[in-house]
Structures are given as structure tokens and as C-alpha cells.
Chain A
């Protein structure tokens, strides 16, 4: 199968089960969202898929081959990329340098010694395209730490896209961004390449319902339900979970 295929994924920390027998598929072009209350195990799931955590049981396949033994960096090179819940960028570099690094690494030039990092026309053109795509051209030579948080979010999205991923996991892409700016992020996500498989982990229901074609509800490490936005919106259990009908 093309894309990501997760079967029976389980993670226990001592007696605590944070991922419980999760089955999950993400094909090219998918737009899925993972929602659930705090502590449901959303970030754990993301960390299991990206290789930051090792599962207790279960398999993860990518394009049909088992990627279980691979570490985070190897999975990225296969095409599984993610953005962080808290912006994680090279703060003291310019926006342009932030985009140059992932491209150079993708090209396998990370160990290159005697050629200027900025001397390859092809790479610089690619950086320019990304800057244009995310409307960051005016900020290209500013240091990232000088940018507003919303702008940094966009840089992170552009940086991740520079890896030319095939599967993209967005961990609360709009977290910490003022509501007035969050539409910029949502627009940028809508513009992502059509053949990219995207999983969005998000709290903000407006964003989820705008972006996702398929929604997965996670509760206590277990998938409660998976369905279209309409199915989820009308599901009694989900409503109870989110509207807190009657319980603490």
C-alpha cells in the first residue's frame, strides 16, 4: 500500500497505556485530523509514527515496508516529516538559511566542505519558490527570532515542505498564533501539494472542520471513532466528550 499503514500500535509507560491498539492509514492526498481531549495520546501517536518513541507493540509500514527499526532521521529521509507543537527553528539564522538547511540535507550535501552553501543556483531557486509560496519574500533575510510567532509558524511549514515529504504530520499548527493570524496558517495548509498525505493534530475545531476530510477521535490512547466531519459533528459520544454534557 502507498503511504502510511499503522497496525495495532501500542505504547505503555509502566502501567499507563498511552496508545492502545491503534490502526491508522494515511494515503497520498489524504487530509486527516486527529482530535481528542488533553492527554488522549495525540502527541504520543505522532512521536511513535515519526520514530521519536519506540512502540511497545504494533507495526508501522511506509509504502509497504516496515519502518519500525528506523530512527527519526531515517524516517524523515524516507519522506515522513513533521512540524512541532512549539515552533522549533534555527532562531539565530535568517529565514533563507532556515530553508537552505533542509534542502541541502535532502540533497545529501550535509558533509560538503569546499563549496559555499549558498552557491548552488538550483537550491537558491528552490528557496525562492518556497518563500514565494508562503509569502515570506520580504522576510527572507531577517533573523527568525525577530519574527512574529505566526510568521515563524509559516517558516516552519515552509522548512518542512523543503524536505519534499510524502507524509506530513502537523502538530497543532496554529497553536500560540493569535486568532487574527491563524487564517494565514490555514490558507497555507490548504495550499499544500495535493499528493501529500497530511495528518493534522489540532484542538481548534474550526480549523479541523475546514481542513480535514476525515477525522479521528482519540480518547485515552484508543480510537473512539473515525469518520467524515459530518459524522463526527453529529456523533453523540463526541458531542458529550467535547461539550462535556453533564460530567466533570
Chain B
């Protein structure tokens, strides 16, 4: 029981926090839902970049693939939300696997450039294939059936919120199990020393492809969720901005652990929301200042703040390093 509380206590606290927020901000459920969707995307990035150490600035490619495929699936095939999530996950995984076969042969800057290129290609395909995707107007006409046949999507976004919260919880538990399992340990291994991993008999390339594919599936779920809840898919879902923002949220929160991305996403989205409401023209300044502060004072992310503060309290030097 004690071990269970230690393992899952913080996750339950987060869940209660999210539920609490939904009661505190009953007219902002759409905003909260958007945060939850971003949490999934940032978690997927954390798996790929934080755990496996694969430098990417193109996670939006898989997010967009999930969004468009789930949208098209709902319009043309079946409007069931859960089936749509699966389709999104598969689309994200397939794109990540196919592009990963090439990308995972590269490292560092080359890899970053290629991930950007893949997202840009997807963006252009969605833009050009107007008949299918609606091009720059976006994919419209998504009408979802009730979740599990029971909960119809409503105008206030109540169903959307609970649906997204359920999806986040499942993804979080999945990743919590994965990162503690042998596979998760091996991802940390290829991050820290690919040479050593090869020397203990691991095909680093295939391990990287697998990590990228699993990350792609999760990003696909995030995209599918966005398509279903907002009932529209725009070209923005393939945008570089989305990939970059997800990366900033991850770095803000702290990479290589699961609570970091959750925290980083919440803080980024709230600061963004608040700053943009107060000053629609200069809100980016606030975000920039916040990122600078975190990178300088908490290089391991906001999640490391308590540790750093206790060390400061004890008068320790070099806190945060």
C-alpha cells in the first residue's frame, strides 16, 4: 500500500488538481481541455526527447497526422470517438515509423533539421490536398458520436473535458509503466551512451525507431483528441510553432521525468492565457522571460524547484546544477 502511494500518489494528486480546476473554472472548460491535449503531446515529446534523447523539433508531424486521420475517419467512416483515437494513434505511429526508418540513422542537428522537414512536408501536403483536407480553410464538418455511446459532446465542453482527462490519465499511466519497465530503462540507456548500449548487444537503431514510433502514437492521440473536441483540424496542427511550443513546455517543466511535462504545460498555458489577456501584443515577452529564468536558475526544469530550494535553504552552493 505504501509503495503504491509512493508510486501513484503524485499522479492522483494531479488528477484531483485537474478535477478541482474544472469546478473552479466552469466557463473555461475548453481552455482546460486544450491544456490536457497539450499535456499528451508534451508527454510524447518527453518520451522521445527526454527519455530516449532523440532531438526533434517536428513532433507536430505526428500530432497533425493523428488530427487529420481522426477527423477524416469521423467524417467518412465512423464518428465514434474512441475508435477515432485509435485511428489517430495508428496514423501517428505509422508516420513516425516510416519517417523514423530514415531519421533514426541521423543524430543531433541533422536529426533536428530532418524532423522539421518531415513536419513541413506534411504541412504542405495537407495544404495542397484541398479536396480531402480543406487546405487552408481547415477540415470541417467533424461531428462526433457520444463517447462510449453515453456522453454526448455538449456546448460548454463538459464531455470534452472529462473525455480528455480520461485520455491523459490513460496515457500517463501507460508511460509511467513503460518508463519503469525494461524498455524504459533501455531508452535511458541509449540516451546516455549509445556506444555502451551497442556493446551490451542492443541494436540502438531499432530501439530508437521503436521509441520514436511509440512517441508518434501518443502524439497522434493528442491530435485526434484535438480534432474531436474542437471539431475542426487546421493546418496549424502541422506547424513548426506547435512543435517548438511543446518543446518549450517540456523544458520549462523538466525533461526525462513524467511530472515535468505536465507541470510545464500547465504553467506555460496559464501564463500564456493570462499574459495574452492582459497584453495581446507583448505576451511573448512574458513567456520569453519565464523561459530565460527557468533555463538559468532551474536548468532541470520547474519540477526540480523544491530540491533546489531546499538546497538553497541549507546554504548549499551551485543549486540546480
Chain A residues at the B interface, C-beta cutoff of 8 Å: 50, 71-74, 76-77, 81-82, 84, 88-93, 97, 100-102, 104-106, 109-117, 159-160, 163
Stretch at the interface among B8-16, B148-156, B197-205: B197-205
Find out whether the CB atom of A76 lies under 8 angstroms from the CB atom of B201.
Answer: yes
Find out whether the CB atom of B199 lies under 8 angstroms from the CB atom of A88.
Answer: yes
A-B contact pairs, 15 of them (CB 8 A): A72-B198, A73-B201, A77-B201, A88-B195, A90-B193, A90-B196, A102-B200, A105-B202, A106-B201, A114-B177, A114-B178, A117-B180, A117-B181, A117-B184, A159-B196
Cα–Cα distance between A71 and B184 once the two chains are bound (Å): 24
Cα–Cα distance between A12 and B204 once the two chains are bound (Å): 27
Find out whether the CB atom of B186 lies under 8 angstroms from the CB atom of A101.
Answer: yes
Task: Give A69 Cβ to nearest chain B Cβ, in Å.
Answer: 15
Find out whether the CB atom of A89 lies under 8 angstroms from the CB atom of B180.
Answer: no
B210: Cβ under 8 A from any A Cβ: yes
- What residues on B are CB-neighbors of A115 within 8 Å? 181-182
Cα–Cα distance between A71 and B148 once the two chains are bound (Å): 49
Find out whether the CB atom of B198 lies under 8 angstroms from the CB atom of A73.
Answer: yes
Given contacts A101-B186, A115-B181, contact A110 B196 (CB under 8 A): no
Task: Give A9 Cβ to nearest chain B Cβ, in Å.
Answer: 20
- What residues on B are CB-neighbors of A73 within 8 Å? 198, 201-204
Given contacts A90-B192, A91-B192, A91-B193, contact A84 B199 (CB under 8 A): yes
Q: CB-nearest residue of chain A relative to B214?
A: A113
Q: A101-B189, A105-B201 are in contact. List 11 more A-B contacts (CB 8 A).
A: A73-B201, A73-B203, A76-B198, A88-B196, A89-B196, A93-B188, A97-B185, A113-B178, A115-B182, A116-B181, A117-B184
Find out whether the CB atom of B200 lies under 8 angstroms from the CB atom of A117.
Answer: no
Given contacts A76-B200, A106-B201, contact A90 B180 (CB under 8 A): no
Find out whether the CB atom of B193 lies under 8 angstroms from the CB atom of A110.
Answer: no
- What residues on B are CB-neighbors of A113 within 8 Å? 177-178, 181, 183
Given contacts A113-B178, A116-B180, contact A104 B196 (CB under 8 A): no
B272: Cβ under 8 A from any A Cβ: no
Find out whether the CB atom of A100 lies under 8 angstroms from the CB atom of B185.
Answer: yes
Q: CB-nearest residue of chain A relative to B178?
A: A113
